Amino acid sequence: MYRTAGQKSEYIRQAGFDKIQQEQMVLNYVEKHGRIKRAEVMDLCRITKDQAAKRLKSLAAAGKIFQHGTRRGTYYDFNS
């Protein structure tokens, strides 16, 4: 349907980004800006609050980013 309408990229956007792409976008964001918060992940990846929290926890558990704080001011970066 999207192809016939000439909107191939719209299909991909509608389907969303997969987990690996989201993780890479988060890591690229941290590399460029130094840190990231859950709300920024939500906006960047177009995902829900719970999905963003899960993505950040996954990256932190893998040791790719580190969590600083536990509540409202929590952010993630590359420094342990």
What does the pLDDT profile of the chain (80 residues) look like in tens digits?
A: 545 555 655 555 555 678 899 999 999 999 999 999 999 999 999 999 999 999 999 999 999 999 999 999 999 999 97
Q: Decide if 29 is inside a domain.
A: yes
Measure the CA–CA gap between 78 and 4, rounded to whole angstroms: 44
Measure the CA–CA gap between 50 and 41, rounded to whole angstroms: 11
Measure the CA–CA gap between 10 and 3, rounded to whole angstroms: 9
Q: Decide if 3 is inside a domain.
A: no
Query: What is the number of domains present in the chain?
Result: 1
Domain interval for residue 58: 18-63
Measure the CA–CA gap between 2 and 42, rounded to whole angstroms: 25
The two structure tokens encoding residue 69? 């704080």
pTM over 0.75: yes
